Structure 1
Amino acid sequence: MTNPYRDSARRLMRDAALDVAADEVLAHGWDGLQMRAVATRIGVSRQTLYNAFGDKHGLAHALIMRLLDRFLDGVDAAIARESSLRDRWEATVRFVLEAAVSEPLLRAVLTGTSSDEFLPLLTSDGGPLVTRARDHVVASMITHHPDLDPAPLAEVAESITRLVISHVVLPLHAPQEVAGHLADLAVADTRVRSH
């Protein structure tokens, strides 16, 4: 049986810990982040923090997933602003690539001393991130295009998600150019076209 007050307090504590951890990573890098410092700043014991996240790797995972959720909120807004399926794919990719450039925590993940701990959460250990992004994009697209078949749409969404991550990690071209190209790829599969 769940206790709504305890659950709410736990969520507030987790959010506060993630806010502080993000500040600490930006100020001191991943190596400078100490669970003890986070616990002290939010007024809980280290054991409470370990119970919530497991360890520093769990804290890193939680930071990345919270950042993903913020990106997905922006994706929803980008999708809602457009009318055609292709334009929605283009807006989705463009939003993520443009937002990635200006997101300080993501920059720290990709370029700073934090990269050894965080980067696998986007790449080799990125399964949970890819799955959440894929499922979210599928649900958002189907909201606007209910005639789409979810199974092939999920395949396309996963491929586009993986390609977007690749472009975030190693940006070689302008976001607008990449967005147009990936949008063309997304609608090339005739199984994923709205009727």
Structure 2
Amino acid sequence: MAQRARAGLRDDALDVAEELVVDRGFRAFSMRDLATRVGVSRQTLYNEFGDRRGVASALVLRSTERFLDEIEQALAGEADLHAAWVAAVRGALARAEDNPLLKTLLTGEEGTPELFGTDSEPIVVAARERAAGYLRRRWPELAPDAVGLAAETAARLTVSHIVLPLAPADVVAEQVATVVTRVCEWR
């Protein structure tokens, strides 16, 4: 019961934190405001998240998990490996474009953690593990090391294009799918 209550508190705090960050930006976000809106002490939040950066990281990881659920559904919707990757990357880019939290964090506002730059490791690792796990289950004949490399490459390239889009999503999706498919076939 205590675990469920703690998970509920964490979810409530992250829901409110997302609203605050989207409405005010990360610079104006404070643990005091969050504690007041959630109805807990600041110490409770510090115990759960550490600090503001911990809240931001938790927000991004939660958003990433939701994002990865959608990517996995896109991968599952196609029988062909290349088509699956095109759908997954296209969906990821579209989701990132429509996500107000990602837009806020990507503005580069002073004080915003670089969660999509040098500190993006948790996102890349989560994306790599989810995609690799799915690929191993769906296409068990693929070499495991190739699947790991392909999943990490897709995650890094997709995050890179979320941060700095240089081409339309359809073009990027086709390019990433081509690279990761060839990695899978190469090994």
Measured in 1, the distance between the counterparts of 2:71 and 2:156 equals: 15
CA contact (8 A) 1:35 1:46 kept: yes
Who is 1:101 aligned against?
97
CA contact (8 A) 1:75 1:95 kept: yes
Aligned-partner SS, 1:176: helix
Measured in 2, the distance between the counterparts of 1:10 and 1:72 equals: 24
Measured in 2, the distance between the counterparts of 1:70 and 1:116 equals: 25
Does residue 183 in structure 1 map to residue 183 in structure 2? Answer: no
**1:16 is matched by which residue type in structure 2?**
D
Q: Which runs of 4+ in 1 moved over 4 A?
A: none
Measured in 1, the distance between the counterparts of 2:105 and 2:39 equals: 26
Does residue 11 in structure 1 map to residue 7 in structure 2? Answer: yes
**2:93 is matched by which residue type in structure 1?**
L
Measured in 2, the distance between the counterparts of 1:139 and 1:162 equals: 17
CA contact (8 A) 1:187 1:193 kept: yes
Aligned-partner SS, 2:70: helix
Between structures 1 and 2, the one with greater helix share: 1
Q: What's the CA shift for 1:112?
A: 5.8
Does residue 158 in structure 1 map to residue 169 in structure 2? Answer: no
Measured in 2, the distance between the counterparts of 1:124 and 1:84 equals: 33
TM-score scaled by structure 2? 0.95
Cα root mean square deviation, aligned: 1.5
Measured in 2, the distance between the counterparts of 1:87 and 1:123 equals: 28
Q: What's the CA shift for 1:91?
A: 1.0
Who is 1:141 aligned against?
135
List runs of 5+ in structure 2 lacking aligned partners.
Answer: none
Q: What's the CA shift for 1:116?
A: 4.3
Measured in 2, the distance between the counterparts of 1:142 and 1:152 equals: 10
Cα deviation digits, residues 115-137 of structure 1 (max 9, x gap): 6423x212201112111110000
Who is 2:83 aligned against?
87
Q: What's the CA shift for 1:40?
A: 1.3
Measured in 2, the distance between the counterparts of 1:150 and 1:136 equals: 14
2:112 to 97, 110, 117: 117
**1:24 is matched by which residue type in structure 2?**
L
Percent sequence identity over aligned pairs? 40
List runs of 5+ in structure 1 lacking aligned partners.
Answer: none
**2:112 is matched by which residue type in structure 1?**
E
Does residue 128 in structure 1 map to residue 84 in structure 2? Answer: no
Q: What's the CA shift for 1:143?
A: 2.2
CA contact (8 A) 2:27 2:111 kept: no
Q: What's the CA shift for 1:11?
A: 0.6
Cα deviation digits, residues 70-118 of structure 1 (max 9, x gap): 10010111011100111111111111011111111111111263x6423
| Aligned residue pairs, count | 186
Measured in 1, the distance between the counterparts of 2:117 and 2:144 equals: 25
